[in-house]
Amino acid sequence: MRLEVVDSDITRLHVDAVVNAANETLLGGGGVDGAIHAAAGPELLDVCRLIGGCPTGEVRLTDGFRLPARHIMHTVGPVWQGGEAGEPELLGQCYRRCMELAVSRRFRSIAFPAISTGVYGYPLRKAAQIAVGTVLEFRKVKHAPTRITFCCFGREVTDVYSLTLAEMGSA
CB neighbours of 171 closer than 8 A, spacing ≥ 6? none
pLDDT digits (tens, 9 = 90+) for 31-73: 999 999 999 999 999 999 999 999 999 999 999 999 999 999 9
> Which one of the listed residues 9, 16, 33, 46 is annotated catalytic?
33
- Phi, psi of 132, rounded to the nearest 5 degrees: -65, -45
- Phi, psi of 21, rounded to the nearest 5 degrees: -80, 85
Q: Does the domain at residues 2-169 carry the CATH identifier 3.30.930.10?
A: no
33 catalytically annotated: yes
Is 171's pLDDT higher than 60? no
Pairing of β 17-21 and β 109-112:
parallel
Q: Which residues make beta-bridge pairs with 74? A: 20, 60
DSSP characters for 61-78?
EEE-TTSSSSEEEEE-PP
Across the chain, mean pLDDT equals: 97
The pLDDT value recorded for residue 92 is 98
Q: How much is the average pLDDT of 104-119?
A: 97
pTM for the whole structure: 0.97
